[in-house]
Chain A
């Protein structure tokens, strides 16, 4: 057998050299990108499917980041103002009975593909949402329900630049809903050309337009000079898939990444101390809650539900799960939103002694309950804290950690869960965003998740929701929703408010104008961003 190694094809020294050269070459494009004079903003995405169909959007994921950056709706809510602002519509009038909304479309606007943006084009988008015979409509769409469902009677164009929505009953929340990611205006020409494939060929009227999409990798966007607010300061945006938080932090530190809202709460203080990185302050718009199956023989007793609310150690949750980056809740409406009142803090206080007493009174001490949780993100940590605190008050809670698919399947099956975690973020900061879509008796949430439709107070709740949404005066509306919080917490309590939190937003120090409040609740408005120096 020959032992002559001089003929070896590849020595260890050569391998090491190749590895070093390859690593350096791989790192080079990022540094070049970050040093192009600040014309490119790199934003981290958790993943990228690459299909931006707005009418099948159901929440979170890559779609909302891209949609917010390339599209706009009739109204816009940027989280600095509790009231909807004009966007594609320069303004609107509401009829005296509150059932007719006329939107004035801004003149001389075009879509990214150059086609005119007029009332007919706007109507085309909404017709697609509601007309089930429309061949361009995707097979599974919840957009119509998200706008108002059966309360929407139809759409008209009284003139070339006026778009009209007719309602069956007044609904003051519709203006806020028109700012949702699934309410954006799609190019009518693109719709006719691509039909159901519009998600792969998306064209709208937002501050940026899509240049290229590489699934699982990146989306490249360039500034649109036809945007109604003017061309954004940053010329190019790259939305880059960097799913791992650790990789995002190293990318931020190296300058390869400029903005991310996917940093774990545990790393906020560490990042803050790093030079060249800034943590933007966000309001706590994300509600972390516990849904209770009100049809369960034990949970049907409101005293048990109250005991669960009193028994959760919220201070431990803030400290051990969110590392201080969360706040005590009121009830449904967080402090940052219209409809919150200072006395709401009493609605979700922690009092283990009172919890034990209530359980004893209800004869529920020692009851075994299962709590389902997702097994990713902060949920496992939350599960451990909540399990511990509920067991300390005398319940026997067991947390099941499930993958996302199994979790959602069991969450939406009223026989599949007893207790379940969920979170609600403010896709638009209107108080009704957290009420009607969840707690009205006609919703899937009320029927299958909290199973609350049989509770005695449900009928009154439905009436209060309708009344609150019929009120167009903001101050009066805020008071009605504040009262709704108290009513639900004291008369029904189908969910327990655990804490309110936000997504920490980290940016490189050379970037200004990032909308942290929006990013802190999954929305992505980058049109105000600009590089300094």
Chain B
């Protein structure tokens, strides 16, 4: 192989690697944009019957067909993105704040308090995630906010343990010892010394957790614990389309595909951030 060919091949590979690195971020960005702009770009009202039931894909006026009520499927998918992202991202932020704080406190305090808190986290973690979320929804009622709360509860232990591990590693470092020697109290050490040094890895983990939270949210919606029909909800649309799988498989495949693409893209984004964090 000539030097030119070799160089060309190397450039192609580099370009492909770059594209693959950028692709998940582009997908996530596009989906977030679609969710935000859904009211503007949707061709129809997602809850109104605007056509014949079960119009197939690529039909005139309905590129993704209609559902069994004659509602435009493209419009419902666009409007269904927002709730899923709201729940997933909101749940992760909530879990990050609550779990991170608990773990930080536990890791800095140490001793029996640390032991007790972590056993509590272990108990919470041993409870089946979906079951815990279902209990919350049944107790509080079905709504987006309650769904977000339910999903966040299932993610709190993850952030608590990570935060505690990171904080435990930081408290034995020189700058913390110096702060103690200077006379700063535990609160100052927690918030001003340790917290800033563990935020970044927590945020990186949060990105990965968004994909898990999205799946949990979709699963709960599938069980009918999400938004109330006829409001578009991707997980519930999978369930509604399930019985039609032999006559209109796109009814269940399309919302499932949208969920899968978002989860996959977020997962890749999280992996990239993790890799970058580990390499320093």
B224 touches A319 (CB 8 A): no
CA distance A375 to B242 in the complex (A): 15
B229 touches A406 (CB 8 A): no
Closest to B230 in A: A384
- Nearest chain A CB to B24 CB, angstrom units: 26
Whether A269 is near chain B, meaning CB under 8 Å from some CB there, is yes
B229 touches A384 (CB 8 A): yes
Whether A249 is near chain B, meaning CB under 8 Å from some CB there, is yes
Whether B68 is near chain A, meaning CB under 8 Å from some CB there, is yes
Partner of A320, one of B69, B229, B247: B69
Enumerate chain B residues within 8 angstroms of A246, measured Cβ to Cβ. 242-243, 245-246
Closest to B243 in A: A264
Instruction: Find residues 256-284 in chain A having any chain B CB closer than 8 Å to their own CB.
Output: 264, 266-267, 269-270
- Nearest chain B CB to A459 CB, angstrom units: 40
Whether B189 is near chain A, meaning CB under 8 Å from some CB there, is no
A380 touches B244 (CB 8 A): no
Enumerate chain B residues within 8 angstroms of A319, measured Cβ to Cβ. 53
Closest to A263 in B: B243
Instruction: Find residues 457-479 in chain A having any chain B CB closer than 8 Å to their own CB.
Output: none
- Nearest chain A CB to B56 CB, angstrom units: 14
B68 touches A406 (CB 8 A): no
Please judge, given known A-B contacts A375-B224, A380-B224, whether A406 and B244 are in contact too, CB under 8 Å: no
B246 touches A401 (CB 8 A): no
CA distance A388 to B138 in the complex (A): 25
Whether A429 is near chain B, meaning CB under 8 Å from some CB there, is no
Q: Mark A34-71, 1 if CB is under 8 A from B, else 0.
A: 00000000000000000000000000000000000000
Whether A231 is near chain B, meaning CB under 8 Å from some CB there, is no
CA distance A125 to B243 in the complex (A): 42
B142 touches A403 (CB 8 A): no
CA distance A375 to B244 in the complex (A): 17
- Nearest chain A CB to B224 CB, angstrom units: 4
CA distance A376 to B225 in the complex (A): 12
Whether A199 is near chain B, meaning CB under 8 Å from some CB there, is no
State the interface size on chain B (CB cutoff 8 A).
17
Q: Mark B235-248, 1 if CB is under 8 A from A, else 0.
A: 00000101111110
Whether A381 is near chain B, meaning CB under 8 Å from some CB there, is yes
B245 touches A383 (CB 8 A): no
Whether A245 is near chain B, meaning CB under 8 Å from some CB there, is yes
State the interface size on chain A (CB cutoff 8 A).
25
Enumerate chain B residues within 8 angstroms of A383, measured Cβ to Cβ. 229
B68 touches A381 (CB 8 A): yes
A266 touches B68 (CB 8 A): yes
Whether A399 is near chain B, meaning CB under 8 Å from some CB there, is yes
- Nearest chain B CB to A365 CB, angstrom units: 22
Please judge, given known A-B contacts A320-B69, A380-B224, whether A403 and B243 are in contact too, CB under 8 Å: no
Closest to B245 in A: A246
CA distance A380 to B225 in the complex (A): 12
Whether B200 is near chain A, meaning CB under 8 Å from some CB there, is no
Q: Mark A316-340, 1 if CB is under 8 A from B, else 0.
A: 0001100100000000000000000
A269 touches B247 (CB 8 A): yes
Q: Mark B59-87, 1 if CB is under 8 A from A, else 0.
A: 00000000011100000000000000000
Whether B228 is near chain A, meaning CB under 8 Å from some CB there, is yes
Enumerate chain A residues within 8 angstroms of B70, measured Cβ to Cβ. 320
Enumerate chain A residues within 8 angstroms of B138, measured Cβ to Cβ. 403, 406
A401 touches B142 (CB 8 A): yes
- Nearest chain A CB to B75 CB, angstrom units: 16
CA distance A406 to B240 in the complex (A): 21
CA distance A270 to B54 in the complex (A): 14
Instruction: Find residues 206-248 in chain B having any chain A CB closer than 8 Å to their own CB.
Output: 224, 228-230, 240, 242-247
A266 touches B247 (CB 8 A): yes
CA distance A269 to B244 in the complex (A): 11
Partner of A267, one of B142, B224, B240, B247: B247
B228 touches A399 (CB 8 A): yes
Instruction: Find residues 374-399 in chain A having any chain B CB closer than 8 Å to their own CB.
Output: 375-376, 380-381, 383-385, 387-388, 399
Enumerate chain B residues within 8 angstroms of A399, measured Cβ to Cβ. 228-229
Enumerate chain B residues within 8 angstroms of A266, measured Cβ to Cβ. 68, 243-244, 247
A320 touches B246 (CB 8 A): no
Closest to A385 in B: B69
A401 touches B228 (CB 8 A): yes
Closest to A374 in B: B224
Partner of B246, one of A267, A380, A406: A267
CA distance A246 to B247 in the complex (A): 12
- Nearest chain A CB to B189 CB, angstrom units: 38
- Nearest chain A CB to B251 CB, angstrom units: 10
B246 touches A270 (CB 8 A): yes
A320 touches B242 (CB 8 A): no
Closest to B67 in A: A320
CA distance A532 to B8 in the complex (A): 71
Q: Mark B37-59, 1 if CB is under 8 A from A, else 0.
A: 00000000000000001000000
Enumerate chain B residues within 8 angstroms of A323, measured Cβ to Cβ. 68
Enumerate chain A residues within 8 angstroms of B247, measured Cβ to Cβ. 266-267, 269-270
CA distance A249 to B242 in the complex (A): 12
CA distance A270 to B245 in the complex (A): 10
CA distance A400 to B143 in the complex (A): 11
- Nearest chain B CB to A38 CB, angstrom units: 26
CA distance A388 to B47 in the complex (A): 10
Q: Mark A229-263, 1 if CB is under 8 A from B, else 0.
A: 00000000000000001100100000000000000
- Nearest chain A CB to B35 CB, angstrom units: 23
CA distance A383 to B224 in the complex (A): 13
- Nearest chain A CB to B6 CB, angstrom units: 27
- Nearest chain A CB to B43 CB, angstrom units: 20
- Nearest chain B CB to A506 CB, angstrom units: 12
CA distance A387 to B47 in the complex (A): 12
CA distance A364 to B199 in the complex (A): 57
Closest to A387 in B: B230
Closest to B224 in A: A375
- Nearest chain B CB to A352 CB, angstrom units: 15
Closest to A406 in B: B138
Partner of B243, one of A245, A384, A400: A245
- Nearest chain A CB to B229 CB, angstrom units: 5
- Nearest chain B CB to A377 CB, angstrom units: 10
Enumerate chain A residues within 8 angstroms of B229, measured Cβ to Cβ. 380, 383-384, 399, 401
Enumerate chain B residues within 8 angstroms of A400, measured Cβ to Cβ. 228
- Name 22 interchain pairs, CB-CB below 8 A, sorted by A: A246-B242, A246-B243, A249-B246, A264-B243, A266-B244, A267-B243, A267-B244, A269-B247, A270-B246, A319-B53, A320-B68, A320-B70, A323-B68, A380-B224, A381-B69, A387-B230, A388-B230, A399-B229, A401-B224, A401-B228, A401-B229, A403-B138
The chain A residues found within 8 Å of chain B, CB to CB, are 245-246, 249, 264, 266-267, 269-270, 319-320, 323, 375-376, 380-381, 383-385, 387-388, 399-401, 403, 406
The chain B residues found within 8 Å of chain A, CB to CB, are 53, 68-70, 138, 142, 224, 228-230, 240, 242-247
The 5 lowest CB-CB distance pairs between A and B, nearest first, are A375-B224, A264-B243, A270-B247, A270-B246, A384-B230
9 A-B pairs besides A266-B243, A381-B68, A401-B224 with CB distance below 8 A are A245-B243, A266-B244, A267-B247, A319-B53, A320-B68, A320-B70, A375-B224, A381-B240, A385-B69
